[in-house]
Amino acid sequence: MISFTPWSALGGGALIGLAAVSLLWFDGRIAGVSGIAAGLWFRPADRLWRVLFLAGLIAGTALWTWYAGRGTGGRTSFPPALLVLAGLLVGYGTALAGGCTSGHGVCGLARLSLRSFIATLVFLSVAMFTTYVVRHVLLVS
């Protein structure tokens, strides 16, 4: 079942943009979530803002779940091994691209970065191809 809710998508996008702009304006940092998370282990000197940013992401999800009165809609039908493999591949791709979807797709595109444009094109193309293979070749729903 496909369910598209344009108003909540617009609101969520605006909040993501507001968070990214706020982090850049107030702290001079790019809101790349994978880089922020990796910095928890590799840059202990500036751990506090990273913890607060990531806690805000989790709290926002919890708040929306409470407000909407339903679960987050997580996919429970995928085999755990496939989810682990997907997570490892995403982590590898993030390291290879020097950033993640939020860093390149939100912040990089907003700054008109050619590197981010190419990275976003690549990861969206791979995501569409992967979705096609998983749904129509492997028949995992």
The string of pLDDT tens digits covering residues 82-106 is 888 888 888 788 877 788 888 888 8
Domain that holds residue 99: 6-137
The string of pLDDT tens digits covering residues 101-132 is 888 888 888 889 999 999 899 889 988 998 89
The string of pLDDT tens digits covering residues 33-80 is 888 888 888 888 889 999 998 998 889 878 877 777 665 555 667 788
Where is pLDDT greater, at 4 or 1? Answer: 4
In a domain, 83, yes or no: yes
Please give the pLDDT value at position 2: 61
In a domain, 36, yes or no: yes
In a domain, 33, yes or no: yes
121 CB-near residues (< 8 Å, 6+ apart): none
Regarding pTM above 0.75, the answer is: no
Average pLDDT of the segment spanning 12-34: 87
Please give the pLDDT value at position 127: 87
Please tell me the total count of domains within the chain.
1
Cα separation, 20 vs 125, whole angstroms: 24
In a domain, 1, yes or no: no
Please give the pLDDT value at position 13: 84
Nearest CA-CA partner of 119 in 138, 84, 89, 94: 94
